[in-house]
Structure 1
């Protein structure tokens, strides 16, 4: 930020209006304001700082103290400054709170603090606090930081050099725009902290699982676990895995042979069970045959006896057939008799008529 024009009115020791054409000092290097004690050097510092931030450059000079005591009652107190920032021109106008003569009538009235900032594109921002906030955003420094590094009064530079590390760091971050790097560094630190916590949890979990491993070379394994030597633990685990895989391959072959032998024995067991069941069925049949032999002999005797009476059965069958024929004749006789009686009854009925 480079001031190019400064106008002060009824400000500090200056009763009237005065304009400093600062652009005549050139656009390079640092402005050096010198002069005898009481010549008004501090007033210029106060005017520039007040135009930007609404406060004087010193802590003991409040805005309401900035109105010149030599000014006429009707004179207006203000500071107007033009400055160039990033190749663009801005114009500021600001007045403090003070008492002035009324424009009508007698007495005094209080002038409220106000500010105006004209931007390079022609837009205008008004309002004391609004303009201050916009200036801080534009310049990247607040009043305290600006007073320490841009407007150094006599003896003030030592305060920057001897100030706290945190304060100097904050100032230099604003000057060199390194705040994004600080935030990035803080995020990396937080992430590293989280990763370290996760790493510690993983190491603890690995230790718990490692304590449950049953290793053949227990001494080497315990030494690796106690020293938290993950590489040694991994090497031992890989070695144990290879040994287990080799042993597992042999066990697979043994298991295959056992399964084949088991299948053969199962087949033989099935055959033996079938033979035993067949023998058991034969024995049961033989037992039933012995138990039912008397009945069989009796049935055989009845059969032989009935076999000898075959002629009688045939004669009886013939008699039964003839009887059935006779029954049919009897039925026909009964039907004809019934018809005859019906006819007789009908004939008697006709005779009566």
Structure 2
């Protein structure tokens, strides 16, 4: 895993959005004062991937990630792993009551050629696959992808502050406990405990299976052979069953035939005894004959009345429609009335024309008088214009004639002649208005008279057009009376015809009821004849009375013949029943010989079913014994397997519970780790130092500059101690990664170690060691320090500063 880009918002002291670009930094340092937030950046990397941080008391205590005064936290890490590019995103939110919950946990794969520059949203838009979208799913997906569990990650990739050289200087006992813890060797103790538990469970299972196997003591070879003999016997019995059933079935069939024949004769005799003719057949025939004669008479009367009705209809058609003649009479009356009204209208028009002329003359005279009065008023006003002007002057304003300011208005009385002339003009105008109204009324009356005359004339013309070629008024009145008389005659004829028809229908209804009863008597006889068709009764002629007499005579003769046949059939049925009883006894004896209970209802099916069921039961008994024997054999194998499991797990528990085994595992792990660390130290020290372990399992350093002498690691200088500690840390990380489920690649190491206590010479060795460790671009190395001398030698620095409660970071190149 190699980090490329880290985005923070609301995480710890990084309250504002912040982006760190690691894509061009194989070797970088997080620098800044103590408490500025350097380690928080390492925490953010861990949180983005695993949802936790090494410094948290509890792994799931996500509330520690959120700044106290913020309600939203977002951390996103873009990284490469195994040649692919991924992004891990986690978002937290604070509820109203202060509870912090995870709102989003996503692990996605990005396009391999996607950019990591610019807005985070644009970077994440390059998603090509979603690997996880929940905290639980993300935990599994990250561990599977990186090949490192959370514990392995913080021991292999993130080397926490304060414990870097702990393993190098620890006493042998503490180092052994540390190896047991870091390498997970305690698992063998748990395996031993589990083996002992499994041994106990296997012993209990063996005992339980043995008790279960005791229930199958009856599943023996002898029991299987006895069941097989029983099945064979029933198989032979089933094969010979048809030879026993056939005689019995034939005898039973003969009994059934005789019983059916006797029953049929008994039923026929009873049926013949119940045959009786209808009691009112002769009276019904007489009533039917009388009804036929009455219907013929009623039909003749109806025909005569219908003829009279047809004649009346012809007369009415010849006289014409009374409505047509009535309309003609009304038109003659309307023409006479219109002629009278038109004459009166002409007189009214003449009077209105004369009144209009008089109104015209009166209006002309009034208009002339008005003009004269207006001229007289104007003459008087001209003569007294100065008097009129004096009444319109206002003191202090200009005169409308001379335009000089009026100082004093002269007092001049109004001239009496002007008022008289104005009165005369008003009276003349009033007379003009009155004469105009009179003229308008005269014009209206004349117009109304003209419209009335035109309307009456037009209507009279329309009536006269309709009366063209029509009879005169007296002839139309005569034809109307004639039509009324013919119509009355037709109504009377239709009534008498309807009465006759109703009488005929009533007679037909009565006859129909008699015919229904008569036909029913014949149908009843026909049904009786069909019922006794096998006895060949006499043929019917259609005369129901005669047919009934003939049939009753035949029934008495036939009944005597049936009585004779019935006696003979009863004797034959009794003899057949005796034979059937003997054959039935043979069947019961066969069933008893096979140990089969006789069915309650003895039939061919019930007997065959009883034998088949017994055979099936016997065959199932064979299979059941075989199954029980097979199950008993499996149980025996399971008992042996459980006993073997008990022995193996008990021996494994004894071996793993021994203290020597754990010590041997620790010594092997330490030797393997020291071998790998020695090679790394030799490379970091330019061939000067190697590590080894003595017989007491103490760590020694081999100094090739001093004739390959061996001395305790406690004699190393500060810089040499750092090199040795780093070599052991890398080897320990490799060991832990090898134990992880996915065999994670260690291409990133983050050192959170204090270097402030190192002198200048040692610090130079540390710097050179880290430069050598990151050389070649095969591993990303990041360290946390506030030592300027060390930071200055790192090519890329992320300067972390804090102002109040907020931290910020700036990327600086050497």
Please classify the TM superposition score into its range, dividing by the shorter chain length.
Answer: 0.3 to 0.5
**Structure of higher CA gyration radius:** 2
Give the alignment's TM-score, normalised by structure 2: 0.19
Higher relative contact order (CA 8 A, sep 6+): 2
Give the alignment's TM-score, normalised by structure 1: 0.42
